[in-house]
Amino acid sequence: MLDKNLLLDRNKTVMFGIFENPDKFLETVAKVNAKGAKIIDCYSPFPIHGIEKAMGLKRSLLPVGAFICGCIGFSLAISMEYYMMVYDWPMIIGNKPQIGVSWVPVIFELSVLCTAFGIAILFFIRNRMIHGKLPAQRVDLRQTDDRMVIAIATDNDIVNKGELSGMLYNGGAVEVKERTNHGYEDFEDVVIGQANKVEA
Amino acid sequence: MIHDSIIRPQLVTGDKTLHDVTTEICRPIENKPTTSWKVGFTLAAIFLGILALTLTITMLFGIGTWGLNKTVQWGWDITNFVFWVGIGHAGTLISAILLLFRQKWRMSINRSAEAMTIFAVMCAAIFPLFHMGRLWVGMYWALPLPNAFGSLWLNFHSPLLWDVFAISTYFSVSLVFWYLGLIPDIATVRDRATTAGRKFWYNFFSMGWTGSVRTWNRYEVVSLVLAGISTPLVLSVHTIVSMDFATSVVPGWHTTIFPPYFVAGAIFSGFGMVLTLLVIARKVMNYQDFITIGHLEAMCKVVMLTGTMVGLAYITEFFVAAYSGVEYEQYAFINRATGPYWWAYWSMMTCNLIAPQVFWFKWARTTPWFIFMLSIVVNVGMWFERFVIIVTSLHREYLPSGWVMYSPTIVEIGIFLGTFGLFFTCFFLFSKFLPVINMSEVKSILKNRE
């Protein structure tokens, strides 16, 4: 997904706009998206509400995965209880029915457990997150601190580069740069301009 | 975009920028430990040593080293178990229920409260595990493992077994929730790291987090789902703990009011402990701008509400016993209030029902030293509540020939004090190596973002 476009594909060019104000950032992202430019991704140190709509992202299907995991937990609990209490070694305790409401707590707990672990694992898989992974696609070290970054593919003719960088500046970017990828982690950054030095 | 009301007070004071938040919250991680941290950590470690010693004695000589007897089969062990599990309720309540209610004040306190949850549940687990005696054998009664002991497999009718599933699920889910919330902040620390060790470890645990909006989008969805399932989970855990008692036929335990009463008590004691920790932490770590008086006040209101609910439950229990016409039930409650353990009962009533009523006054809710004192009172009161429920109900059973008194041995006292050592050792380590306040969430509620 992300790495491919940004880093792995050779000779791809990407323009980055770096912002320090989240409100201006959100407005600019919406404008760039409305213009039809291909936004690869955006980066921010905190969740900015509404940006997914501004970027045109679809709703995540993770809750569906969570529901399926919950159903697995539910079935697992019932099967386990039936197998242990009724099938493998039938146990009648206190003359209570073998199958009854006393099964509910364990069924509930296992459903919750499977849902929680399921959605967490699916989240890591979907984002390709794994322990120790090097965050190669960091554009700015401060993108986890106080800066927001928009990454736009510029190896196409959808939007004029000059117009795009102008749009980013006018939107409040403190820095705009273009990256050309030569290979994995082999790239060249050209700073188009920094705040107060607009050259576009 | 910020849509907060302009007339509401700011949740984070001091006109902080995004970078200020990062710098101030990362300070304890990036700087050398302070003297107060070292002193506190050493003290906690000493108590942890006491825990190791007393548990070793228990393992070597058996449960006979405890003050339990044939009548009072649950004493300090289960009292302490329920005490710690109760404390462990505030974290997930703050993160999950307050998230669903969109209470933004939770953002400065949820991280430390969740950590507290995890450490408290660890402390709680020690008691039933070691009460099983030879716990390596006891595991066969608690976990679905194939075995050749007694009746095969597990008894799913037993609330004690439900408890095993409830508490282990609660611990695991809280851990997942906590860790997911930590990942963006660990990435922030990683990107500021200057030493090789810090770079390696924070990189290891940040799982390649870059702050991508696509990831944030999914992260928000996952948080919401986890909050949604954690909310009934929090309620279920103490409900099930209460069923350990309520499904028995012991007068004083056999009451249907127990589940809501225990849940309210758990929230009450959990918030009590959160206040104890945070009133100190905000001062020592200089986080007054993040954990403001407004935060403390909100928590005091929760304490007052849940304390009153618990008090109502105490009175309702008395009424139900009187109304039931069952003389054993009536005696159990009269004995609680006027019997040999009257002091425990009235300590409970004073600390849990009467003391929190001072929070009706604004001064009491907004004065940190007073809140701290009251939070200790709440902790003590909730410990007494569990002691009263367990020991006073057991020590006089149906036949007077079985009536005994119970007092803990030095080993039991040592284990209880030792669990405070475990709890605080974990908390000190947490405050040194991880961001105590959720930076990414706090950044999203700053009004001054320029």
Rounded to an integer, what distance in angstroms lies between the CA atom of residue A104 and that of residue A74?
Answer: 10
- Distance in angstroms (rounded) separating the CA atoms of residues A82 and A76: 10
The predicted pLDDT at position A119 comes to 94
Q: Which pLDDT score is estimated for A198?
A: 46
Q: What is the DSSP string of B245-279?
A: HHTS--TTT--TTHHHHHHHHHHHHHHHHHHHHHH
Q: Does B444 touch chain A (CB under 8 A)?
A: yes
What are residue B103's phi and psi, to 5 degrees? -90, 105
B432 token code pair: 């040194």
Q: What is the enclosing helix (H) or strand (E) of A192?
A: strand A186-194
* H or E element in which residue A175 lies: strand A173-183
Both tokens assigned to B349: 């009533």
- Of A28-42, B63-77, B155-169, the poorest mean pLDDT is in A28-42
CA distances B86 to A200, B73, B266, B437, Å, are 61, 21, 4, 22
Q: Give the type of residue at B51.
A: L
Buried b (16+ CB within 10 A) or exposed e, B263-284: bbbbbbbbbbbbbbbbbebbee
Find, in chain B, the residue whose alpha carbon is nearest to that of A103. B156
Q: Are A54 and A65 in contact (CB under 8 A)?
A: no
Closest approach of A87 to chain B, Cα-based (Å): 11
Q: Which of B149, B189, B210 should we substitute to test contact with A (largest number of A Cβ atoms within 10 Å)? A: B210
Q: Determine, for residues B153 and A84 on separate chains, whether the beta-carbon distance falls below 8 Å.
A: yes
Q: Report in angstroms the alpha-carbon separations of B72 from B62, B161, B241, B409, B414.
A: 17, 21, 18, 14, 19
Distance CA B371, CA B296 (A): 8
B48 to chain A, closest Cα gap in Å: 30
Query: What local confidence, expressed as pLDDT, does residue B211 receive?
Result: 86
Q: Under 8 Å CB-to-CB from A101, ≥6 apart: which residues?
A: none
Which tens digit of pLDDT belongs to each residue from B393-438?
Answer: 999 988 889 899 999 999 999 999 999 999 999 999 999 999 999 9
pLDDT of residue B210: 86
User: What does each of the 200 residues of chain A score in pLDDT, given as a tens digit?
Assistant: 444 455 545 557 788 888 888 888 888 888 888 888 888 888 898 888 888 888 888 888 899 999 999 999 999 999 999 998 888 888 888 888 888 888 999 999 999 999 999 999 999 998 888 887 777 667 777 888 888 888 888 877 777 778 888 888 888 888 888 877 766 566 667 777 666 544 44
Do residue A43 and residue B212 have CB atoms under 8 angstroms apart? Answer: yes
Question: Tens digit of pLDDT for each residue in B29-57?
Answer: 888 888 888 999 999 999 999 999 999 99
Cβ atoms of B141 and B154 within 8 Å: the answer is yes
Mean pLDDT of chain B: 89
What angle is formed at CA B437 by the lines to CA B434 and CA B441, rounded to 5 degrees?
120
C-alpha distance from B309 to closest chain A C-alpha (Å): 25
pLDDT digits (tens, 9 = 90+) for B188-239: 999 888 888 888 899 899 888 888 888 898 998 999 899 899 889 999 999 9
- Please tell me the predicted confidence (pLDDT) of residue B1: 47
**Residue B227 and residue B99: Cα distance in Å, rounded?**
7
Q: Which residues of B touch A118 (CB under 8 A)?
A: none
- % of chain B exceeding 70 in pLDDT: 97
**Longest CA pairwise span in chain A (Å):** 86
The torsion angle over the Cα atoms of residues A65, A68, A69 and A73, rounded to 10 degrees, is: 170
Q: ipTM of this model?
A: 0.90
Q: Using CB atoms, pick whichever of A60, A108, A128 lies closest to residue B236.
A: A108
**Distance of alpha carbon B197 from alpha carbon B413, whole angstroms:** 40
Contacts of A92 (CB under 8 A, 6+ apart): A98
